[in-house]
Structure 1
Amino acid sequence: MVHPSAPTNASPPNDPPAQVTTAASQPERRATFSDVLADREYRGILCAGALSWLGDYLAKAAVTALVFDQTRSAGAAAATFAISFAPWLLLGPLLSAVADRYPYRNVMIVSDVARMVLIALVAVPGLPLPVLIGLLFLTALGNPPYDSARSALLSQVFSGDRLVLGISLNLSLNQTAQIVGYLAGGVLAALSPRLALGLDAATFAVSALVLWTMVAHRPAVNARSTRRNLVRETGDGFAIVFGTAALRGIAVLVFTSMLFAIVPEGLAVVWAHHLEPNGDPAEVGFNQGLIMLASPVGYVLGGLLVGRLIAPETRRRLIRPLALVAALSLVPALADPPLFTVCVMAAVCGFCIAGMMPAANGLFVQALPNQYRARAFGVMQTGVQLLQGASVLVTGMLANHWPLHQVIGLWSVAGVVLILVALSAWPAADLFTAAIERARRLNEAPVAG
């Protein structure tokens, strides 16, 4: 699930100062879908992202099937699926720092072209398994700079409530692409995995073309004369996120939420078998699919409904309550509920996470200086990926020794406690105002050569 975009980044230097007062006091006009979709550049970014996401999910299903067909090894298939997360865990912040050195549109286009070539090579018949996995790893290296640059570019195109609604649409489209991609990928994997890989390569090509024709060129936010050692620049990303009270408060809440939000999707196959221990394999598989889809469906609804129907100031006030309800929504697992209730629980959790995330993103954006855009996204996304993977791994191991419904229920109770701790450390309004004002001053300062 949560390709839940971690908080995106800063506002362009010419953003109006009114954006600062928006977060603090003045009511802000609610943006509409027509407002954001009327922007040609945003449509280009949205279309390119949708193509990349759809191709990625198609390829994940296809490559996993291809490797399993060749090896009959569940471990090899699992490793193939997991390899796409490895760059975020190993090199995510460093690759995101690279994205801040160059024009964001160029970073995205180069990433698309490189992934197009590499995924086309994966489709070549007869590749040894180590070569295939190596190519997949190289392909996945394009994800951190692409995602970080897209996040930063979006905040150059929009500000204020249009940015928040644009993020909501992005997140909802991501989840829709996940649903369609996995379903189509499963079908194509049974027919021709290499056809799915060819389609993935084509999506990268079209994405690059869309970006080239629909998104304007902008210079890099960090001039060559201001660059430092890449490792130090990466460290600056961590420093700005965790050294600024407002950003740290948002980061801690987002990271804590990720510890439980992914669990229904990640353990769907185990939960389906738990509900029907002696059931027909086809029925168990269908139940697994329902549990996996429930969270993305809730996510899509939450992103669209909260983003469109609730006023900006109210959305910001709902960040903390929605985070708490998201954790509480999975606690009823302790009662070992039936399939329908499990799906409702997962959907409610996804709805709440999608409802809080864009508003948190928008607040994060306002308090972040321009030059840290991609690096801050890299820090956030790396944390999200790491915590999601760890939560599924730990709860899966616990489920080997205790009933699954107890594991998920108690894990969610622990999540409620952690959310309450994170909320107790939520910064005061004046700290957000100070951080936003500081970012505005830095953003308006002239950039050296």
Structure 2
Amino acid sequence: MSEDLQETGAGDRPGPVTATATPTVTDTTAATGRAYGGADPVPAASTAHVAGAGRALRGAATGGGRARRAMGRGRGRHRRTGRVTATDDRPATFRDVFGVAEYRALFGAAVLSWVGDYFAKVAVAFLVFSNTGSVLLSAIGFAISYLPWVAGGPVLAALAERYPYRRVMIICDVARMVMVGLMALPATPLPVLLLLLLGASLLTPPFQAARSAMVAQLLTGDRYVVGLSFQNMAGQSAQVAGYALGGVVAAIDPHAALVINAATYAASTLLLWRGVRPRPLPVVHTERRSLLRETFDGLGFVFGHRVMRPTAMVVFSVVGIIIVPEGLAAAWAPSFGGGSQVTGLLMAAPPIGAVLGAVVTRMTGPERRLRLLRPLLLAAPLLLVPVLAAPPFAVAFALVLLAAAAVNTVLVPLNGLFVQMLPNAYRARAFGIMQGGIQLTHAVAVLVAGALAERLPVPLVIGAWAVCGLLLMAVSVTTWPSRQVIAEEVARAAELNRAPEPEAPAPMPARPPVPAQPAMPARQPVPAQQVLPVPAQHAASQPVTT
């Protein structure tokens, strides 16, 4: 089974299902099916083949040679092996992604919210510390914004499936704008400020779940994978810029940083209102249950699914591996003879690696991206094992950066695989479950590693953690679902997500023409008081006179 994962992963969501054949999927979805060995269990038509056929038909009017060349370009699959050629493996471009106008608005709103959130985190930590002088209370103020994801993120994310995604995002942005605006008032007491921050943070899970579900609606095919990689890169850049600029503004006036955050929510609301068109819910639920029961239903669906369960476990595992060097950066820095500057560089290595991973994702085609999945899953923890030897700072920085790049390169196709399996009825809940699981994994991994670092050297903890992660990844890649199982689940999700087309009413039968009535003869005048002759059976009872 080890070679089954050599081309494992996902790039795309399933394409439209035809009315007369087995569900067809896009070129990368077909590659996902082929990635698990053997012949295609689900007949699939690549988009390149369809596009080539279209070019051939158009070229037939101007010359048969050009039509034949176009048809040849469109085939794109080797006749005997069934493998996709380089024509099918062309990655989507950023122009393809940002050519979707609604995605541009959604992306802009997300970036504004991210930058504003980091401004607020720095400002709140600064305000708490300046008013109390307590490092612990300042850290609590910083951590409050992450609490909803850990405490009840999946439950809150389930709200996004009760209402249209656009409406959920706009309401969340307006409410957060109001609460952060109240936080910016100089007269706001510190306890009230922290409560307002908690209230604003509670709206993050439904907003993020609705946004993630809508991105999967707007971007199809390889555009989803490339768009997600660029979004991750932008998120890391927004984190660096938000913390840097937010720190400068908060040092001058922390209330001004909160005003800027409220303004970003207002701008995000405007972008969503003007740039994203209203859509109904993908699935209308006739019967509603409590949020808690719906959340457990979503958990049961994700972790009871034969493909989504291993995908989720791999994602949680790799993020739990890479977070430890970042979480222990402050304790690791003294071993290099450095202080806050070395700590900052160690914490900056994962975001830089994430940007590098996004670039690699963009430059590799869907087929190669799938082939890299297995080795990169093993490379991520393997790159951190040499930390056991306590290398110099430059080597340690490079190892953390490369491990983060490997993790972020595999997260995008894993996300794409996850999206392919999702029925519309579980989309927002599943994204909330994954995001909440990632945040919980971060917290648990850092807490456990920090407890170990209290008694053991930090390089030993990081290196041993990486060895455990390597063993876990080795088990994961050898027990990965077969190619046939994944292809079956892709087809099943595509069938579930296909909107039933209303049947056209049966045509009414043509109404036969009414035959022309013969002209009635002119009525003869009747002399007065003359009794008309009547049939015998009516003569006694129905005398008719004029």
Please say whether Structure 1 and Structure 2 have the same fold, judged by a TM-score greater than 0.5: yes
> 2:146 is aligned with what amino acid?
F
> 2:340 is aligned with what amino acid?
G
Inter-CA distance 222–385: structure 2 relative to 1 (3 Å threshold): same
Corresponding residue for residue 401 of structure 1: 455
Q: Does 1:379 align with 2:433?
A: yes
Q: Does 1:87 align with 2:148?
A: yes
Corresponding residue for residue 346 of structure 2: 291
> 1:361 is aligned with what amino acid?
N
Inter-CA distance 43–422: structure 2 relative to 1 (3 Å threshold): same
Residue 230 of structure 1, CA deviation: 2.5
Unaligned runs of 5+ in 2: 1-9, 35-45, 47-83, 503-546
Corresponding residue for residue 542 of structure 2: none
Residue 108 of structure 1, CA deviation: 0.9
Corresponding residue for residue 360 of structure 2: 306
The answer to whether the 8 A contact 1:9-1:373 is kept is no
Corresponding residue for residue 444 of structure 1: 498
Structure 1: distance between partners of 2:282 and 2:406: 34
Structure 1: distance between partners of 2:11 and 2:449: 29
State which of 376, 386, 401 in structure 2 corresponds to 1:347.
401
Q: Does 1:362 align with 2:416?
A: yes
Residue 12 of structure 1, CA deviation: 8.5
Residue 9 of structure 1, CA deviation: 11
- Provide the aligned C-alpha RMSD in A: 2.1
Name whichever structure is richer in helix by fraction: 1
Inter-CA distance 235–375: structure 2 relative to 1 (3 Å threshold): same
Inter-CA distance 80–8: structure 2 relative to 1 (3 Å threshold): farther
Other structure's SS at 1:236 match = helix
Structure 2: distance between partners of 1:372 and 1:13: 19
Inter-CA distance 222–98: structure 2 relative to 1 (3 Å threshold): farther
Q: Does 1:113 align with 2:113?
A: no
Residue 13 of structure 1, CA deviation: 7.2
Unaligned runs of 5+ in 1: 1-6
Residue 22 of structure 1, CA deviation: 4.4
> 1:302 is aligned with what amino acid?
G
TM norm structure 2: 0.76
Q: Does 1:263 align with 2:338?
A: no
Other structure's SS at 2:307 match = helix
Structure 1: distance between partners of 2:352 and 2:222: 24
Corresponding residue for residue 76 of structure 1: 137
Alignment of 1:144-223 (within 5 A): 144-223=205-284
> 2:24 is aligned with what amino acid?
P
Question: Equivalent pairs: percent with the same residue?
Answer: 46
Q: Deviations over 1:296-344 (max 9, x none)?
A: 01101111x2222111022123222212211112112111122212221
Corresponding residue for residue 24 of structure 1: 33
User: Does 236-245 or 174-183 show the bigger shift?
Assistant: 236-245
The answer to whether the 8 A contact 1:261-1:349 is kept is yes
> 1:326 is aligned with what amino acid?
A
Structure 2: distance between partners of 1:314 and 1:225: 43
| Higher relative contact order structure (alpha carbons within 8 Å, sequence separation ≥ 6) | 1
Q: Deviations over 1:103-122 (max 9, x none)?
A: 11111111111111111112
Residue 445 of structure 1, CA deviation: 4.6
Structure 2: distance between partners of 1:68 and 1:208: 31
Q: Deviations over 1:173-227 (max 9, x none)?
A: 0001011111112222221111111111111110111111111211112314243
Inter-CA distance 375–242: structure 2 relative to 1 (3 Å threshold): same
The answer to whether the 8 A contact 1:48-1:208 is kept is yes
Other structure's SS at 1:263 match = helix
Other structure's SS at 1:18 match = coil
Residue 167 of structure 1, CA deviation: 0.6
Other structure's SS at 1:245 match = coil
> 2:430 is aligned with what amino acid?
A
The answer to whether the 8 A contact 2:148-2:205 is kept is yes
Structure 1: distance between partners of 2:391 and 2:255: 40
The answer to whether the 8 A contact 1:316-1:360 is kept is no
Q: Tell me the number of residue pairs that the alignment of Structure 1 and Structure 2 aligns.
A: 435
Structure 2: distance between partners of 1:447 and 1:390: 47
Q: Deviations over 1:64-117 (max 9, x none)?
A: 111111111111011111111111122211111110111111111111111111
> 1:79 is aligned with what amino acid?
I
Structure 2: distance between partners of 1:226 and 1:52: 34
Corresponding residue for residue 297 of structure 2: 236
Structure 2: distance between partners of 1:383 and 1:172: 21
Q: Does 1:274 align with 2:335?
A: yes
The answer to whether the 8 A contact 2:107-2:231 is kept is yes
Structure 1: distance between partners of 2:12 and 2:444: 25
Which stretches of structure 1, 4 residues or longer, exceed 6 Å deviation after superposition?
7-16
State which of 476, 480, 501 in structure 2 corresponds to 1:422.
476
Q: Deviations over 1:380-403 (max 9, x none)?
A: 111100010111111112111111
Inter-CA distance 367–224: structure 2 relative to 1 (3 Å threshold): closer
The answer to whether the 8 A contact 1:8-1:373 is kept is no
Structure 2: distance between partners of 1:9 and 1:185: 36
Corresponding residue for residue 3 of structure 1: none
Corresponding residue for residue 509 of structure 2: none
Alignment of 1:134-153 (within 5 A): 134-153=195-214
> 1:17 is aligned with what amino acid?
T
Residue 418 of structure 1, CA deviation: 1.5
